[in-house]
């Protein structure tokens, strides 16, 4: 898709984007798609420079955008600082896509301190640092102009943060935290005209190579291609999504599901305003008597999408 073929409300003409973890996989697809959607510049990031990052830069430039690479760990403050600085050199900061992540999958009783900390650090702290820096940048720009500014934050959560997989306590906790972080950001950023949303993508990448079976291309387009996720990201980054904020989307293939907030299943009220332990136990037991045994706060229904 060329910039000229895009409707104005979908074009990122003149905008500059930052995409973390974009040396390959989902991040690379997102970065290139943003360039093809008309972005003037795209800052990519990876833990190291490689032939893969060179290829992403080449694809961005082939789409007509300027490109810059920031090598560094997203969980380190200086990396977030450098990404914002590079975006400013390209013309400002308008779109942030937090994508970088790692996995250290083990059952809870085998999960080491180090494996828990590493996943929380890269995912949750990594998201926080750039989210905070972008919010500060946009607030500063809004103060300068005394007007709303263009800002789009797209964070990468996961269905794991909604249903609690037994072998990913660290990953699920980090992703649930990212969703909460995004909601907080959406409330703050809405005051200055910016949006913040989270996506829970399914995609065939290096991180998921042991999860999904290989695709037979004779069957047609791969439903788990990262390009499907990148299309949604480019939409959320566009002017068309100005009213979409504080939302969580599950996306893969030709399906995008808007996830509704949790609802209250049952409210227990004490008759005299203070619960007696016995009375409360009896009230809960009465409700549990006809309740499905496997029902919990886990949003397991989402895995049926």
Q: Which of 137, 150, 171, 252 is catalytic?
A: 171
* Options 75, 142, 158, 186, the catalytic residue: 158
Strand order of the sheet with strand 195-201? 66-71, 41-46, 16-19, 95-98, 152-156, 195-201, 248-252, 255-258
Categorise residue 164: left if φ over 0, alpha if ψ from -120 to 50, beta otherwise.
Answer: left
For residue 154, give the nearest of 179, 176, 188 by alpha carbon.
Answer: 179
Backbone angles phi, psi at 14, to 5 degrees: 85, -5
Output Rg (C-alpha) for the chain, integer angstroms. 21
Would the CA dihedral through 9, 15, 20, 24 be positive or negative? positive
Q: Active site includes 158?
A: yes
Please identify which of the residues 175, 186, 234, 252 carries the catalytic annotation. Answer: 175
**What is the DSSP secondary-structure string of 43-83?**
EEEESS--HHHHHHHHHHHHTT-EEEEEES-TTSHHHHHHH
Reply yes or no on whether 175 is catalytic: yes
**Cα 277 to Cα 155: distance, rounded to the nearest angstrom:** 42
Active site residue 66: no
Nearest to 296 by CA among 173, 175, 163: 163
> Active-site residues: which are they?
158, 171, 175
């Amino acid at each position: 898709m060329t910039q000229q073929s895009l409707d104005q409300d979908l074009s990122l003409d003149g905008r500059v984007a930052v995409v973390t973890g974009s040396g390959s996989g989902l991040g690379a697809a997102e970065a290139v798609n943003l360039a093809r959607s008309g972005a003037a510049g795209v800052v990519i990031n990876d833990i190291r420079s490689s032939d893969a990052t060179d290829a992403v830069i080449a694809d961005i430039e082939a789409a007509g955008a300027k490109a810059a690479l920031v090598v560094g760990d997203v969980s380190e403050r200086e990396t977030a600082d450098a990404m914002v600085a590079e975006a400013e050199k390209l013309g400002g900061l308008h779109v942030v896509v937090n994508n970088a992540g790692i996995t250290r999958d083990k059952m809870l009783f085998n999960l080491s301190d180090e494996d828990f900390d590493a996943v929380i650090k890269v995912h949750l702290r990594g998201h926080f640092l750039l989210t905070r820096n972008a919010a500060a940048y946009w607030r500063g720009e809004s103060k300068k102009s005394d007007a709303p500014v263009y800002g789009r934050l797209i964070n990468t959560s996961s269905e794991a943060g909604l249903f609690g997989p037994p072998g990913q306590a660290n990953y699920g906790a980090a992703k649930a935290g990212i969703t909460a972080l995004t909601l907080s950001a959406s409330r703050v950023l809405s005051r200055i005209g910016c949006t913040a949303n989270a996506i829970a993508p399914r995609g065939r990448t290096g991180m998921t190579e042991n999860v999904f079976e290989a695709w037979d291309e004779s069957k047609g387009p791969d439903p788990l291609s990262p390009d499907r996720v990148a299309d949604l990201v480019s939409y959320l980054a566009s002017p068309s999504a100005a009213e979409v904020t504080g939302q969580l989307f599950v996306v893969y293939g030709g399906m995008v599901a808007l996830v509704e907030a949790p609802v209250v299943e049952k409210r227990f009220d004490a008759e005299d305003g203070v619960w007696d332990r016995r009375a409360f136990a009896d009230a809960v037991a009465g409700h549990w008597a006809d309740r499905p045994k496997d029902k919990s706060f886990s949003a397991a229904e989402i895995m049926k999408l």
